[in-house]
Amino acid sequence: MCGIVGFWGLWSQAILEKMTRLIRYRGPDDIGFYFAPALDRFVGLGMCRLSIIDLHTGHQPIWNEDRTKVIIFNGEIYNYRLLRTSLKAKGHVFTTQTDTEVILHGYEEFGPEVVNRLEGMFAFAIWDDKTKQFFLARDRLGIKPLYYYQAADGSIAFSSEIKSILPLLPHKEINLKSFYHYLLYGFGMRDETLFKEIYQIPPACYMIWEGGKLTLHPYWRLEKQSFQAKSEEDWAEQIRSTLLEAVKSHLVADVPVGITLSGGVDSSSILALMTRATTDSHIHAVTVGYNRPDDEIRFSRIAASPYHIQIHERYFSIEETADHFRKIIYHLEEPIAHAAMGTTYFLSKTVREHLKVVLIGEGSDELFCGYQNNRLFMFPFYLAPRSLIRHYYLRIGTVMPSSEEIESLLQSESLDRQIFREMIHLYDPYFKKGPLEENSLRYQIEIELVAKQLLRIDKLMMAHSVEARVPFLDRAFVELAFSIPFHLKIKNRMEKYIFRKAMEPLLPHEVVYRPKMGKKGTQVLKSPLIEESLLPKFGDLLKAKRIEQRGFFKGKALEKYLSWPLSIMDRVNPVRSRMKPKFILAILAFEIWCQVFLDGKLED
C-alpha cells in the first residue's frame, strides 16, 4: 500500500518530489523516484510506501529484467504467490518478494490482459521506455483511487490523490457537473472531480497514454453467475464458504492484520471468519465511540465475546469532529455529506496506534440490500411507474433537497440549466430497462459504493497511514452475492435476510438480528454532529453575507432555507426530517472545501 504519482511533460524533478511528498502520509516507510528524459519531455514516477509485504526489498519503482519497463503500485494483490510461481515457470526472474513485481512481469507476459488475472485492490502505472507508453489500471470495484490530468499539449499527470496534481494546474476552476452532482446526491461524481480537468480512471478500467492520446478500456463488468445453490441453506453455506476464502486471502501480509469492529453484523461476520481463517491467537480489534446512550461499543463487546481477541476501545467527544473538520476535508479532497466521516477519521487514528492493516466490513449493504430504499421493489411499491420508483429510490437514498429546491437557491451566474438537468437524469439508464431490483443494486455497487463509501474510507484511513482491506469486495464473493435472488435478500421485511441467515451459526443472535443503526448510531450522529459540534464553530459561515461572498448561492435564500424550522409533518417524515441536517452538513463541507483548496486556508 502506498501513494503513487507520475507524469510525462515539461515538469521538473523538483515538481515530482513535491507531488510525492504532498501525500507522504500514505506511505511513511519509504520513498522512491524515477526521473529521466523521454522524447522531448521528461517522465517522472514517485511513490511513498507503507510496507506490508516484503518489508526489506520492496522499494519502488521496480524494473523488469532488461530495464525497459518500470512500475509503481498502490494496493494489494492477494493471489500474487500463485501468479509468481506461474511466471517463474515461464522464465521470469524476480529480484523481490513483492506483489508489485508480479504485476510487472505479468504485464510483460500477458500485456493489458494481466488485470484480469489479478485478485485484489490496486491502482498502478507502468512506463514502457521502449514504446514511450503509460499503462494505468484500477481494480474492479474501485477500492483504490487513481486520478489523472491531461494538459492541452498532451502531457499527462496522475496520482493516488488530487492534491498532488493541483500544483500542475494553470488555474483551479470548479467543475459545475460535479458541483451540481454533489448538491443533488450528497457526494461527488465517480469519474470526475470537483476540479475541472482532473478526472478519475473508472473502476474496472485500464488506460493507455501514448503520444499525447488517452484511450480508456473497460476490462470487467459485474454479471450474474451460475451457482448450484437452490435452497436457502444452500445459499447460506455458499456465502459462508466463499466469504471465508475471501477473508483468508485478505490476511496475506508480513505485518499483523487486525479488524475494525462496530458490533454490526458485517464487521462481526468478518471477525468470526477471521478467527477461523488464522492460527494467530492475538487478533487485535479496534472500535471507537462517543460516550452516548446509543453508542455501539457495547455491541462490539458482544460480537467479540465468543473469541479471545484484544479490543482497543477509544472514546471521542462529538465536539472533536469540529476541531478536525478542516483536516478531514483536506484529506477527503472533495466534500461528502456523510456524517460518518468523523468516525472514520478517529477510527483510523486509533487503528494506527496499534496496527498498519485492518479488515473492514464495507460493501455488505450494497450487495445484500441493506438500505431501506430497496423495499421499493417489493409489493405494493413495485407496481408504481418506473419513473416514480426511480425518484423515490434516489430521494430516500440520498436524503437531499429536491432539484427544484436546489435550483432556487443557486445564483443565476452559477446556474447552467443544461448541465444541471444532465446531472438530475445522470442515473436514469439504471432504471429505464431490465429488472429494477438488479439494476438498483448495480447502481449502488458501481456508483454510491465507490464515490461515497470507498473514497471516504481510502482517504481517511490513509490519512493516518492505515491500509483498509475489504473482504466483502473480493471478486468471487461479489459475483456470488450479486447472483443471489432478490427475494432472499429482503424477506419478511428484513434487509440482508440471507446474509443474516448465513451468519446465524457464527454469531450471537442479538448481533445477527440487531437493527441497522443508520438513523441514530455511532456511524451517523447527524443531528448531534450538526447541533453540538459544527454549528457552534462554523455557524457564521451560513450567514447570508458569507454565503453571498462565495458566489454560488443566494445568500438570504439559503440562510432562510437552512434556518427555517421543520413543520410538524416534516418532523415525522423519514426523509424530510433527516434532509435538513444533512444539507447543512453538505453546505458546511463545501464551504470548508472552498477555504482549504481555493483560498489555501488550512488552519482555523
For 278, 395, 576, 594, the CA distances from 410, given in Å and listed in that order, are: 55, 20, 20, 16
Report the DSSP beta bridge partners of residue 93. none
471: nearest Cα among 300, 269, 301: 269
Taking only Cα atoms into account, the Rg of the chain, rounded to an integer number of angstroms, comes to 24
Instruction: Give SS3 for 237.
Output: helix
Size of the chain, expressed as the number of residues it contains: 604
Cis, peptide link before residue 515, omega less than 30° from 0: no
Q: Which CATH number fits domain 232-369+454-512: 3.40.50.620, 3.10.180.10, 1.10.10.10, 3.40.605.10?
A: 3.40.50.620
70 Rama sector, left if φ>0, alpha if ψ -120 to 50, beta otherwise: beta
Q: Where in the chain is the domain with CATH 3.40.50.620?
A: 232-369+454-512
Residues 309 and 284: beta-carbon distance below 8 Å: yes
Q: What pLDDT score does 520 carry? A: 42
Which letter does DSSP use for residue 195 in this model?
Answer: B
Q: What pLDDT score does 12 carry? A: 98
Give the side-chain half-sphere CA count within 13 A for 548.
9
Q: Determine the Cα–Cα distance for residues 107 and 135; give it in Å rounded to an integer.
A: 9
Q: Where in the chain is the domain with CATH 3.60.20.10?
A: 2-218
Q: What pLDDT score does 519 carry? A: 41
Q: Do β-strands 284-289 and 257-260 pair in parallel, antiparallel, or remain unpaired?
A: parallel
Superfamily grouping for domain 2-218: Aminohydrolase, N-terminal nucleophile (Ntn) domain (3.60.20.10)
Instruction: Tell me the pLDDT tens digit for each residue of 308-365.
Output: 899 999 999 888 999 999 999 999 999 999 988 999 999 999 999 999 999 999 999 9
Tell me the backbone φ, ψ of residue 165, rounded to 5 degrees: -90, -25
Q: Determine the Cα–Cα distance for residues 266 and 103; give it in Å rounded to an integer.
A: 31
Q: What pLDDT score does 556 carry? A: 96
Q: What pLDDT score does 525 carry? A: 52
Global pTM reads 0.95
Q: What pLDDT score does 41 carry? A: 96
Q: Alpha helices of 427-543 — where are they, by DSSP H? A: 429-432, 436-443, 455-462, 475-483, 497-503, 509-512, 526-528, 535-538
Mean pLDDT by 10 residues, the chain (604 residues): 94 98 96 96 97 88 96 97 97 95 98 98 98 98 98 97 97 97 97 98 98 97 90 96 98 95 94 90 90 82 88 91 95 94 95 97 96 87 87 91 96 97 96 90 97 97 98 98 95 93 94 68 60 90 94 96 79 79 95 96 77
Instruction: Tell me the pLDDT tens digit for each residue of 477-525.
Output: 999 999 999 999 999 889 999 999 999 999 999 999 887 654 444 444 5
Tell me the backbone φ, ψ of residue 30, rounded to 5 degrees: -160, 160
